């Protein structure tokens, strides 16, 4: 009998593994767009910027800067390292799948966002066998949301973790994949099959307690 392969855990990158909250707040204040009292929370910064004249342009420029030349100021989110360690101990494969174009439309046109992300991961030890132990072949960047959804299915993910609701609303998101929305306790009005977790410790409980209980999803 062929042994059952362990389920693959898929994880988004931006704002799920890496946090840009502090650098986003700093730039928004330095550029005179938001007051110093603005909390360092990506979604609140985004929503506040979009209320300004030309707000969407300001938001896109901010994203281009922090995802590209300033990515070094991004912070590894608490609990990510411990989650990867838990996956390694249990021999659970992990893939990182992100919706990320090579260049930002509002950026300088020179910075390769995908290489910037890989460089940050390399600096954090993701590709070091003694640390995270991930292979660069386990990291995928896709140009569109449907392509990201397709990659999730092709990678054999049993679970996918993402901070963006839009990922789970994508019509082509593969059926049968558990959906975990990161960064919140609840999604008012969201689909009933989406589980919410505000922290990576909560995600670990959802993923590993469900596996121990024998749920095959």
pLDDT in tens, 32-89: 999 999 999 999 999 999 999 999 999 999 999 999 999 999 999 999 999 999 999 9
Domain identity same for 26 and 116: no
Domain identity same for 34 and 87: no
Q: By residue range, what is the domain housing residue 64?
A: 21-73
Domain identity same for 171 and 84: yes
Domain identity same for 91 and 145: yes
Q: How many separate domains does the chain show?
A: 2
pLDDT for the residue 211: 53
In a domain, 152, yes or no: yes
Per-residue pLDDT of 137-173, as tens digits, reads 999 999 999 999 999 999 999 999 999 999 999 999 9
- Specify the higher pLDDT residue, 167 or 213: 167
Domain identity same for 126 and 176: yes
In a domain, 217, yes or no: no
In a domain, 93, yes or no: yes
DSSP codes, the chain: -PPPPPPEEEE--BTTTEE-HHHHHHHHHHTTSS-TT--S-HHHHHHHHHTSTTHHHHHHHHHHHHHTTTGGG-EEPTTHHHHHHHHHHTT--EEEEEE--SS-TTS-S---HHHHHHHHHHHHTTT-TTTT---GGGEEEESSHHHHHHHHHHTTEEEEEES-HHHHH-TTSPTT-EEEEES-S--TT--TTEEEESSHHHHHHHHHHHHHTT---
């Amino acid at each position: 009998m062929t042994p059952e392969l362990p389920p693959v855990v898929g994880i988004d990158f931006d704002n799920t593994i890496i946090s840009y909250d502090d650098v986003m707040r700093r730039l928004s204040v330095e550029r005179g767009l938001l007051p110093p009292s603005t909390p360092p929370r990506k979604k609140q910064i985004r929503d506040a910027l979009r209320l300004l004249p030309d707000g969407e342009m300001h938001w896109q420029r901010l994203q281009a800067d922090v995802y590209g030349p300033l990515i070094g100021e991004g912070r590894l989110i608490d609990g990510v390292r411990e989650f990867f360690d838990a996956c390694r101990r249990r021999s659970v494969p992990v893939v990182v799948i992100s919706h990320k174009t090579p260049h930002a439309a509002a950026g300088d046109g020179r910075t390769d966002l995908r290489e910037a992300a890989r460089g940050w991961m390399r600096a954090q030890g993701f590709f070091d066998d003694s640390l995270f132990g991930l292979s660069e072949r386990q990291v995928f960047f896709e140009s569109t949301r449907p392509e990201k959804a397709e990659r999730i299915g092709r990678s054999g993910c049993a679970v996918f973790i993402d901070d963006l609701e839009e990922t789970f609303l994508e019509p082509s998101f593969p059926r049968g994949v558990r959906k975990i929305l990161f960064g919140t306790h609840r999604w008012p009005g969201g689909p009933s099959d989406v589980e919410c977790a505000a922290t990576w410790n909560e995600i670990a409980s959802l993923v590993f307690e469900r596996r121990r209980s024998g749920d095959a999803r």
